[in-house]
Structure 1
Amino acid sequence: MGVQDPGGREEPHLQGPGLQSRLGATRRREGSSEVTGWYLLIALALLMANGFFVAAEFALTAARWTKLEEMAAGGNSRARVALSSIRELSFMLAGAQLGITMASLGLGYVAEPAVARLIEGALQNLVELSEGLLHTISLTIALAIVVFLHMVVGEMAPKNLAISEAERTALWLAIPFRLYANLFRPFIGVLNALANSSLRLLGVEPQDEIFSKHTAEEIGSMVEESAKQGMMREFEHQLLSGAVALGERDAASVMVPRTEMTAVPVTSTPEDIERVVLETGHSRIPLYSRDLDDIAGFFHAKDLLRIPADKRADPISRKYIRQMLVVPESRKLRPLLVDMRRRRQHLALVVDEHGGTSGVVTLEDLLEELVGEIRDETDVAELGIERVGRGRFVVPGSLHVADVADHLGLVLPEGEYETIAGFLMDRLGRIPKRRDVVEHNGWKLRVRQMHRRRVVQVIVEEPPRTAVSEMADEAAQQARRPV
């Protein structure tokens, strides 16, 4: 029976199956909303977990272990944990992949239906659709939203973060990721062992660490790129570039060729050798018997002090002839430098495939390949600033741009160079050649002498002077003369 009001009338709308159905639907919606809320929280946690594992995976592979070692040596405990993970990289990456897989599966299982319920409830209030069509539309939209969030928030964003800040990300995630890996170590170990066994069946030996191996060309490219980015100074760039090139170049590329060698007959007297030493500034003079293909050794200038005065007009004694290191043209510079240091030799004879003399290599030549031009006292005298005419000077290519301004008044613009040779190379866009001319503010710089790829001497010409300036200079000179 229905419920009667005080007047005895029944209220039919408060009784029967309709009331029970509506009450049940209301309870189901309330229960469904509560479940959906929990599912969304779980989905958010799984999305964050997925991002955590992705960031850990890329941070371990992108982080520079040398930088982490430096931090660990300074007492950073997180760096030590990160290094321990990198040392068993194969296992840790397997753990990251396991975490990503489980988080992705859980996200698909929980998030998609939860989001679909929310969308379905919203669409019910907007349009009238059949239950099947409504469910299909809601599921499609939910799938698109979940996939988008999974790709952007769970994959791409943490990946880009780990690549951009590899060391910092590795430090942030080091301890929690290590705890996770240790907790699931047995399971991860089994999966990783199965994967490694599969690789061995294909003839590939798995590695626990990433070993960075680079060719000389790759290292040279990295040095050049670092220099362009301003991460190293010019001297550091030159030193590293020279060290890389040292392993690729041979003796023939740096030797003083046969046609430019300074050598004297083995029958020369100490007086003859002394004149050659004074003229050339060389302290070691090769000696030949019949011709340059028959080098007997070399004479050291310091031995002149040991020869008595009454013997200086006689041919030098054999006891003063020192043996030379003999190397083929193909000898690489790095082992050649090692040989010269081990044997304490400053001069080496370079021979061709037939045993004929090709030239000589000095220890200074090898060091110049590493650190650039080396000048001693005799070089300074030879390459100093010299006036060769009115307004014309001969200067060394290694002269610093500041010295050019101080001594000649030629102010060169700032650039990625420190010497006048560097300025010429910058303006020409290539290695200068003899007789190349560069003009700057009326000044002319002409390459006078080259030695292989090095600018040795440059002729600097002042700009044309006006009659007024010449008269002013002449008056100034007269004023400085004593009365």
Structure 2
Amino acid sequence: MDPDPSSSLLIIGLALIASAFFSGMEIAFVSANRLQLELDSKTSWQGRILTHLSARTKLFIATMLVGNNLALVFCGLESGALVSHGIFGVSDWTEAAQPILVLAVQTLITTLIILVVAEFIPKALFHSNANFWLKFFAVPLVAVHYLLVLPGLLVVGLSNFSIRLVGRSTGSDEDEEQLGATDLDHFIREMSGRMEPEQELEHELQIMQNALEFNKVLARDCLIPRNEVVAVDVEAPLEEVRELFISKGLSKIVVYRGDIDQTIGYVHSKDLFKNPKSIKAILHPTFVVPEPMPADDVLKRFKQRKRHLAIVVDEFGGTSGILTMEDIMEQLIGDIEDEHDKEELIEEALEAGKWRFSARLDVEDLNGQFGIRLPLNDAYETLGGLVIHYTEDIPEAGYTLALDGFNIEVEEVSGNKVQTVILHVISE
């Protein structure tokens, strides 16, 4: 008697669902943010279950693979029977040819169905929100895991034995489960993705994100540029130094001999209370760093040499600017305001699509913050640099630079430096 096609279809459907479940759980477990799992374990029972399972990564993946393979075996057996009796059972093919056709059709149809229904769709779906699906299926997941734990242990043991035979280390679950920078970055991106565009990351999350990206920050990214450095000649009278400290509101002033490319140190405002005879008597040494030096290396040098100010030089040895410990720390924790921070960068909305900006503002930051698309180029970083790059000159106040979709009016110029601009987005 031929098998009932409906029962075969039911078994195939259940097997495909089971295979989709195991495939999805496997990719979700591999893609899940481990830091988020650790945080969930403190707030929910699902999180505690998942943390327990993740403590033995190899065993968990092995049980998922065992379950998936069992589901595929049942699917293959029933699909073979269904194809054989349901499609060719009443045909006129010879008995010799029929098994070959059955095998060919079974392989083609079953493979296509399994790839789409039990592999591609569940993996794409579960990968997109791995932590959510792990928590959603926590109960059936732990039940199936313990149901298949014995064959899973056998698979892990055989795989470890095979790896050792070729002279390779099998590692440990503890090594795999260490939280790393990738997990933290993944967690921060998930948190920022849930926020509205106008919302800002919480200060603690912003610090973590800055710390992750700190190894990409170079000395040139956080220096005080040459044209803004307040400096004095070593032969200048002390009265001139006092007036500079009072007028500029600074705590440190760079000292040079001849010109600013020949810096020899700096003086601190508190040293003036010692009634020195000359600048040389209160001169503090600095050290030189190149523009491409990573900021974390500069920070190490500050600590090793117990210095507070460094001179940043370009490839030709000229002074690009100065760098202090405070400048580097601001890359990690944001702006550090003190009694000497007086300049505020202007970001003023004048009307719809029109703003007044300080020329020192970063072009890429403005694009992200205001949703505009100012052109980016390695030749400049700031609005002032953009204007000078396209005009190839220091424009006068009132000059308007026309770009594709933008008009940038130079509002204020001081010496050879653009101070403020008016940015107008042209509606199409």
Q: TM-score, normalised by structure 2?
A: 0.67
Counterparts in 2 of 1:459 and 1:151: CA distance versus 1, 3 Å: closer
Q: Is the 8 A contact 2:67 2:148 kept in 1?
A: no
Partners of 1:180 and 1:412 in 2: CA distance: 58
Q: Deviations over 1:374-415 (max 9, x none)?
A: 7877765x67xxxxxxxxxxxxxx31223xx2xxxxx24189
Match of 1:14 in 2: none
347, 351, 355: which one aligns with 2:309: 347
Counterparts in 2 of 1:352 and 1:239: CA distance versus 1, 3 Å: same
| TM-fit CA distance, 1:178 | 3.0
1:49 aligns with 2:21: no
Counterparts in 2 of 1:49 and 1:357: CA distance versus 1, 3 Å: closer
1:400 aligns with 2:347: yes
Match of 1:333 in 2: 295
Counterparts in 2 of 1:162 and 1:287: CA distance versus 1, 3 Å: closer
1:106 aligns with 2:74: yes
What are the residue-to-residue correspondences of 1:427-466 with 2, within 5 Å?
428-430=374-376, 431=381, 432-434=386-388, 435=395, 437-438=400-401, 445-446=409-410, 457-458=419-420
1:177 aligns with 2:178: no
Match of 2:53 in 1: 85
Match of 2:39 in 1: 70
- Give 1:152's aligned amino acid: V
Specify every segment of 5 or more residues in structure 1 that has no aligned partner in the other structure, as ranges.
1-28, 384-397, 406-410, 463-483
Q: Deviations over 1:91-131 (max 9, x none)?
A: 2222222222222223222332144323356xx4xxx7366
| TM-fit CA distance, 1:457 | 0.9
Partners of 1:444 and 1:158 in 2: CA distance: 50
Match of 1:154 in 2: 118
Match of 1:323 in 2: 284
Q: Deviations over 1:30-50 (max 9, x none)?
A: xx355x555444444333322
Counterparts in 2 of 1:372 and 1:429: CA distance versus 1, 3 Å: farther
Match of 2:391 in 1: none
Match of 2:151 in 1: 187
Counterparts in 2 of 1:139 and 1:188: CA distance versus 1, 3 Å: closer
Match of 2:215 in 1: 247
Partners of 2:293 and 2:97 in 1: CA distance: 80
Q: Is the 8 A contact 1:427 1:438 kept in 2?
A: no
| TM-fit CA distance, 1:242 | 5.9
Partners of 1:112 and 1:266 in 2: CA distance: 93
Q: Which has the larger radius of gyration?
A: 1
The structure carrying a bigger helix percent of its residues is 1
- Give 1:433's aligned amino acid: V
SS in 2 for 1:458: strand
SS in 2 for 1:178: helix
Partners of 2:362 and 2:232 in 1: CA distance: 37
SS in 2 for 1:323: coil
Partners of 2:34 and 2:318 in 1: CA distance: 50
Kindly tell me the number of residue pairs found equivalent between the two proteins: 386
Root mean square deviation, CA, Å: 5.1
Specify every segment of 5 or more residues in structure 2 that has no aligned partner in the other structure, as ranges.
389-394
Match of 1:361 in 2: 323
Counterparts in 2 of 1:412 and 1:369: CA distance versus 1, 3 Å: farther
- Give 1:284's aligned amino acid: K
Q: Is the 8 A contact 1:286 1:295 kept in 2?
A: yes
More moved, 342-351 vs 362-371 = 342-351
Partners of 1:422 and 1:253 in 2: CA distance: 11
Q: Is the 8 A contact 2:27 2:126 kept in 1?
A: yes
Counterparts in 2 of 1:445 and 1:350: CA distance versus 1, 3 Å: closer
Partners of 1:444 and 1:327 in 2: CA distance: 37
Partners of 2:169 and 2:411 in 1: CA distance: 58
Match of 1:132 in 2: 95
1:278 aligns with 2:246: yes
SS in 1 for 2:25: helix
What are the residue-to-residue correspondences of 1:288-327 with 2, within 5 Å?
297-304=265-272, 306=273, 315=278, 318=281, 321=282, 323-327=284-288
Counterparts in 2 of 1:96 and 1:272: CA distance versus 1, 3 Å: same
What are the residue-to-residue correspondences of 1:252-263 with 2, within 5 Å?
254-255=222-223, 261-263=229-231
Counterparts in 2 of 1:299 and 1:164: CA distance versus 1, 3 Å: closer
Partners of 2:229 and 2:406 in 1: CA distance: 39
Counterparts in 2 of 1:115 and 1:275: CA distance versus 1, 3 Å: same
